[in-house]
Amino acid sequence: MTIGRKTTPSIGIIGFGAFGRLIARHLAPHSPLVVSDPCQSIPQESPDRVVVSDARGAARCDIVILAVPVDRMSAAIAELKPHLRPGAVVIDVGSVKIEPARIMLAELPENVEIIGTHPLFGPQSASRGIAGLKMALCPIRGKSWRRIAAFLRQKLKLDVILTTPDAHDRDMAMVQGLTHLVAKILVRMEPMPGRMTTRSFELLMQATEMVRHDAPGVFHAIERANPHARAVRERFFAHAQEITRELERGHEAQRPAAREIEAEIA
C-alpha cells in the first residue's frame, strides 16, 4: 500500500525527537501512525492516531520513515530489516542524501522501495504551518515516489523538489553548510548589540536563532556527512582571508596620510 491509493496506508516512524514529532503532527490527520524510539521515551502529548510501539511494530507498516541521525541509520535498519513487508516503502528525512542513499541501498532488502527526502525546514520554521515550504525528494528505488510526491503537494501543500542525492548535497553544502557555520560563529561572538541595530543585522540574527537550538548531530551531519561541505568551507574561509588581506593593505596605505594630518593639526 502506498499514499495516494484508496486504502489509507499505515506509517511507521523510527525516531521521535523534535523532527519525528513534527512529522507525526502533520501526518496523523491523514494516516494511522506507529512510532518507535529506542533512545528516548515518547512524549505524552503525542498526536491522536499515534500508537507507541517497538521497532518491530513500526517496521510492519506500509511506509517506514527513518527519522534518525545518519550515524544511527545502519543500526535502525538492522533492527527493522527482519520485519519489513515486501513492497514496503522506506523513507529517510536526513539533512544529507548521498550517505543515507548508499546505506539504504546496501542494507535494506531488495523487495522494499526506497526514497530519500529532506524537508527543507525544521520545527521553528514550521511553527506557523508547513504549507508552501520546500521538500527535496530523491527517488532511489521503486515507483511509489510519484504517489508520495503527489500526496506531499496536494495534501500537505509542500513545494516538492525532485533531485538526486549528489545534486542535493552539492546545494546543501552551500545552503545549509554556510548558514549553520556562520550561525555557530556568531553565537560564539555573543553578546551581540540589542538596541542599536540595522534591519540587515536583525535578519542575520533571526537566521541564527532559527538554527541555534538544533541538536549537535544536525550540525555534524551537515558539515561532516556531506562530502561536498568541506570544499565549501575552504572556499568560504579562503575568501575571508583574502578580504582580510585586502583590508590590511588598505590600512597600511592610509597610515602615511593619517600621519600627515596629525602633523598639520600639531
Position 215 scores a pLDDT of 78
pTM score:
0.86
Minimal CA–CA distance to 113: which of 82, 140, 89? 89
CATH of 11-163, one of 1.20.272.10, 3.50.50.60, 1.10.3720.10, 3.40.50.720: 3.40.50.720
Residues of the chain with CATH 3.40.50.720: 11-163
Quick one: the chain helix, strand, coil %, rounded to 5? 50, 15, 35
Helix (H) or strand (E) segment spanning residue 35: strand 33-36
Q: What is the mean pLDDT of residues 8-25?
A: 93
Position 2 scores a pLDDT of 42
Question: Beta strand 159-162 with 134-141: parallel, antiparallel or unpaired?
Answer: parallel
Lowest mean pLDDT among 44-53, 64-73, 196-205: 44-53
Residues 215-251 pLDDT 10s: 778 898 899 999 999 999 999 999 999 999 999 987 6
Burial (CB < 10 A; 0-12, 13-18, 19+), residue 47, is middle
Residues 63-114 pLDDT 10s: 999 999 999 999 999 999 999 999 999 999 999 999 999 999 999 999 999 9
Contact between 88 and 63 (Cβ < 8 Å) = yes
Report the number of secondary-structure helices (H) and strands (E) in the chain: 9, 8
- Phi first, then psi: give them for residue 133, nearest 5 degrees: -75, 165
Position 1 scores a pLDDT of 41
Q: What span, in angstroms and rounded, lies between the C-alpha atoms of 70 and 229? A: 15
Position 197 scores a pLDDT of 97
Q: Does position 20 have pLDDT exceeding 60, yes or no? A: yes
Position 5 scores a pLDDT of 47
Residues 145-200 pLDDT 10s: 999 999 999 999 999 999 999 999 999 999 999 999 999 999 999 999 999 999 99
Q: What is the mean pLDDT of residues 128-137?
A: 97
Q: What span, in angstroms and rounded, lies between the C-alpha atoms of 172 and 136? A: 11
Position 218 scores a pLDDT of 87
Q: Does position 266 have pLDDT exceeding 60, yes or no? A: no
